A and B are shown apart, each in its own frame.
Chain A
Amino acid sequence: MSIGTIGTSPPRRDGPDKLTGLALYADDLRPDGVLYGATVRSDRAHARILSVRRDPTFDWNGITVLTAADLPGPNVVTLMTDDQPILADGLVRHATEPIALVAAPTRERALAAAKAVLVEYEDLPALLDPLAAEGHAIRIYGDDNVYKRIRIQRGERCTVTGHLVRARYTTGLQEQLYIEPQSMIASPRPDGGIALVGSMQCPYYVDRAVKRMVGHDRVNVLQAVTGGGFGGKEEYPSILACHATLLAMRTGRPVKITYRRDEDLRCTTKRHPAVIDLATLVSQEGQLLELHARLWMDGGAYHTLSTVVLSRAILHVGGPYRCPFVDLSGTVVATHTPPNGAFRGFGAPQAQWAMERHMDRVARTLALDPIELRRRNLYRDGDITGTGQVLVAPGGFAVLESAERAAAAPFTRNTVRPGVSRARMAAGRGLALAWHGCGFTGNGEAKIKGKVGLEVRGDDIAILSSSTDIGQGTETIFPMIVGETLGIPATRAFNTPHDTGFVPDSGPTVASRTAMVVGGTCQKAAEQLLSLLRSRLGDGTFDALVGRWDPSWGPLKVEETYEVDPNIQWDPETYQGDAYPTFGWSCVIVDLRVDLDTGEVLYDRVVTSTDVGRALSPVLAAGQIEGGTLQALGWATAEEVVLDARGCMRNDRLTNYIIPTALDAPDMVTILEEIPYAGGPFGAKGIGEIPMDAPAAAVAQAIERATGAILDALPMTPERVFSALVPR
């Protein structure tokens, strides 16, 4: 029985607490007897650690200091590859690498103590240039500094003549810049175990990492209300958790580590910078005939998730366009820089920035309209992708058409510019398209086997999952899905705290998979619960059946495991098959002005049209799109990480790592197209990452149309735009 919740936008569950200041984030918690942890970090890119000493002039009373020698188990941050130590042992491979930990009764004492731990180094030659890394004499990883190479070849070489268009496109580091810095508290449990609570996306990542370090299972991990993640709290919190745990075990007291913003900026993961060479063969009419891509990414000093980021980049580098022959290869290398990691989009934004810019270059070369060129190549129903996947109902044309329709409406220019009363401005409009694979690549979900539990608790339904709400709305969406399936108001279902001691592993909160995959599992679990009731009691509404359930039959609870669509075929060796269960589609149209005196870009309006499958809650869905769009505009024109000679972030403050304010943001028109995906709950697709993909290229096209300046490198800071402008 449908009760019509899906497609409405009830207020978010966690809204009242967040709006009144009652929501407790990790740093808001202060367990009795808490100590404060701080981290001693390398200030060298590559060096041997000769000694770690305490400054004898410092008052060490009440302060605990730990180094790698104090580790109870393997010195490894458990993730994909066992290469990253919890604390550097004898060797540092990047600036800011953790070397020692301190705990003190106050935060200030902890910071002072960390400064009083003196590390003596012997410098070693450092390798910072990713383009020189492969096979370099200085070894960081394996025997050639390559974390992974991927190559996809498919199709028939072109036999007719065409235009060869080739160029290089680059992107820089980007910081996730969640407004809540990383924070974690580890507390000793009465049973000798450790309880962790912190800011995170993936409680089970932390759970696995800490259990492996301590060598036993008496560990539970609870997500605190989390102030944004964007990938930055996917894998990084495991390190923080290991650190806090070590200090808590040694001191026997709860230990909290909250990074200051400058530390967070310097040492946490960033979006991988990329260099992408594209060469296409194109017919006179603008049909893509061949696409050759060569992509390099800088993974930094440790593996983290870089191989998967590379994979997603390669799988998206062709953009939403059909091409009869593709040869796509990528390499992610090691350098002596802080490791890069997950960030909304996960490689796809870098790849599609390149392809969309390249489409503009092709259009320029052939003197074709860049939008018409896209139209001629955009995937249609039944087209085959570079991995051989047959596309069903691709949404490229739908989003293109609805975005263009919306962009035809008049809009007001952004007029408020404090301190600017006269300027020479040139206006331009740009359009870009993107696709984004929803959920894990290929048969990734088969390995994860994400689970969701449901329990009837009185009149309410408890939803047990490890899928966290980091702002995107999990606490609201899951109850809507469960309520709708059971035919009861969503308000009677609720997510239990995401504590690994009580909830099953639903897989990580990443990859635009939470609503689509885990939400789908919620739906299946609710159906299973109904089946359980009906198996005993026959037909009837949920409430009627629950009332007649005899407790002696057992508890009313179920656990559901995500089942991968058996039709999905994927070969991870050849990279052929169904790369993703489905794709989202996006079109972005940016109206902006360029200040010709300064190269500053002023955003007036951004129209986005996104195929979301089904908008479970249109307000939450639009919120994802709009937030991601502005994050992409920041990446496009403002956000630049400046590294010093040691590979350490120089602009480690919010005054000089520039993200947009309310005055910099455009008015946004957000269109949600709904081309349902049968495998998602009520047709929903993943939407968390796709807004990151197209905006930067739309901005570049708009700048080009406004000024003639051609920019192929991100970020397009005022300095870069200015240099590309034709001098007056």
Chain B
Amino acid sequence: MLRCEAPVHRPHSLEDALALRMELPGATMLAGGTDIMVYLEAGQLQPTAIIDLSGVPALRVLRSVTGGQYYGAGLTCTDVVGSAHAHPLIREAALTVGAVQIQNRATLGGNICNSSPAGDTLPVWLALNADFELASIHGRRRVPAARFWRGYKKTEMRPHELLVGIIVPPLAGHMHFRKVGTRLAQSIAKVVFAGRYVPAVDAMLAFGAVGPVPMRCPEAESALIAGASPAAVAALVEKEISPIDDVRSTQDYRRKVAGNIVRTWLEGR
């Protein structure tokens, strides 16, 4: 109902999108709209201009590349869920986003750039050692997921840049995803976890909704590689994360649940 008079720009190529990004550094990027429209209606956002990315075909690709898989930032959750090639962990996370109507619109890039600490897919990128490809008219650069989120709703992206894709390297190991919300759909995570573990070699334990940014637990990961027990790893996880009390849940709950999820996964592996 709230009226937004901001002009909308609809580039149809990546070049045009990047040129607009350069020209309008204060513009709001919109793809599926599932976050932006909520902010607008709540009066939390007064955009001066909108750059719509939904019409850029180059952003909606999923392909194999040297060094792994490339996910266009404009892929919707439904695209990923429906693709036989999508990584199972990414697909599982995409299935937990909202419900069908939201998955039909919400994009991978939107989830990443909205950078809510509770974003459902975000720990997955950490666990998979993904790189985010950022582009501007000056060129492209890759930022590891682990360095992308800089603080609450702050990212590594510069004003002229766009997130264009995600590169997921081919990684082996046991993997696990778990989202905890109060209901099974249309829920915002209280804790969301993605893990990957190659015994004695590599471990990634990544969480959302337990700190200002999606985060890994380096001490717990090291301990896991070194052969620590699941209970010991879980205890380190509980120490490393920094959840808060808010209207959805409590610090204490999030902390213990995060530890439990990791422990149950490792014990059952």
Contacts and interface: CB of A to CB of B under 8 A. Distances in A.
B152 interface: no
B158 interface: no
Contacts of A420: 178-179
Contacts of B46: none
A417 B187 CA distance: 12
Contact of B183 (A416, A422, A642, A663): A663
Given A423-B264, A597-B257, A660 B176 contact: no
A638 B184 CA distance: 11
A661 B96 contact: no
A419 B180 CA distance: 8
Contacts of A722: 253, 256-257
Contacts of B186: 654-655, 661
Contacts of B183: 638, 658-661, 663-664
A654 B92 CA distance: 24
B228 interface: no
Interface string B149-190: 000000000000000000000000000111110111111101
Nearest to B250: A719
Nearest to B190: A718
Contacts of A108: 1-3
Contact of A417 (B182, B184, B188): B184
A661 B185 contact: yes
B99 interface: yes
Contacts of A377: none
B184 A664 contact: yes
Given A108-B1, A661-B185, A728 B179 contact: no
A422 B95 CA distance: 16
Contacts of A717: 182
Contacts of A664: 183-185
B205 to A, nearest CB: 15
B104 to A, nearest CB: 15
Contacts of B1: 107-108, 111, 260
Size band of the interface chain B makes with A: 35 or more
Given A418-B95, A600-B180, A722-B253, A728 B260 contact: yes
B96 A422 contact: no
A659 B257 CA distance: 22
Given A638-B182, A663-B185, A422 B99 contact: no
A108 B40 CA distance: 13
A597 B186 CA distance: 21
A720 B183 CA distance: 15
A650 interface: yes
Interface string A647-680: 0001100111011111110000000000000000
Contact of B268 (A106, A417, A422, A654): A422
Given A421-B92, A658-B182, A661-B185, A642 B264 contact: no
A656 B118 CA distance: 13
A597 B184 contact: no
A421 B89 CA distance: 11
B249 interface: yes
Contact of B178 (A419, A658, A662): A419
Nearest to A422: B268
A633 to B, nearest CB: 11
A424 interface: yes
A679 B187 CA distance: 46
A153 interface: no
Which label, helix, strand, loop or mixed, suits the secondary structure of the A interface? loop
A67 interface: no
A283 B2 CA distance: 65
A421 B188 contact: no
A307 B264 CA distance: 50
Interface string A379-419: 00000000000000000000000000000000000001111
Contact of A718 (B92, B176, B179, B182): B182
B51 interface: no
A650 B99 contact: no
Interface in B97-124: 99, 120
A659 B264 CA distance: 28
Interface string A595-637: 0111110000000000000000000000000000000000000
Interface residues of A, number: 39
B261 interface: yes
Interface string A254-282: 00000010000000000000000000000
Nearest to B120: A419
Interface in B213-230: none
Contacts of B190: 718
B247 A419 contact: no
Contacts of A660: 183
B96 A719 contact: no
A419 B264 contact: no
A156 B201 CA distance: 76
A420 B257 CA distance: 13
A421 B249 CA distance: 22
Contacts of A659: 183
A661 B184 contact: yes
A706 to B, nearest CB: 16
B264 A656 contact: no
Interface in A679-728: 717-719, 722-723, 728
B93 interface: yes
A419 B92 CA distance: 6
A663 to B, nearest CB: 4
Interface in A81-104: none
Interface in A454-512: none
A372 to B, nearest CB: 34
Given A598-B180, A638-B183, A422 B264 contact: yes
Nearest to B3: A108
Contacts of A650: 247
Given A416-B184, A661-B184, A656 B247 contact: yes
A638 B190 CA distance: 14
Nearest to B188: A655
A723 B191 CA distance: 16
A597 B230 CA distance: 14
Nearest to A718: B182
Contacts of A728: 260, 263
Contacts of B96: 418-419
Interface in B1-19: 1-3
Given A108-B2, A422-B264, A651-B247, A663 B184 contact: yes
Contact of A418 (B2, B179, B250, B257): B179
Nearest to A663: B184
A66 to B, nearest CB: 22
Nearest to A634: B183
A306 B253 CA distance: 35
Contact of A642 (B2, B176, B247, B256): B247
Interface in B228-269: 247-250, 253, 256-257, 260-261, 263-265, 268
A107 B247 CA distance: 29
A418 B97 CA distance: 9
A661 B99 contact: yes
A718 B253 contact: yes
A719 B260 contact: no
A279 B19 CA distance: 75
Given A111-B2, A598-B261, 5 more contacts: A599-B257, A638-B183, A650-B247, A656-B188, A718-B180
Interface of B: 1-3, 92-93, 95-96, 99, 120, 176-180, 182-188, 190-192, 247-250, 253, 256-257, 260-261, 263-265, 268
10 contacts: A108-B1, A419-B95, A598-B180, A599-B257, A638-B182, A656-B247, A656-B248, A661-B184, A661-B185, A664-B184
Top 5 A-B pairs ranked by shortest CB distance?
A419-B179, A597-B260, A419-B96, A663-B184, A658-B182
Interface of A: 106-108, 111, 260, 416-424, 596-600, 638, 642, 650-651, 654-656, 658-664, 717-719, 722-723, 728
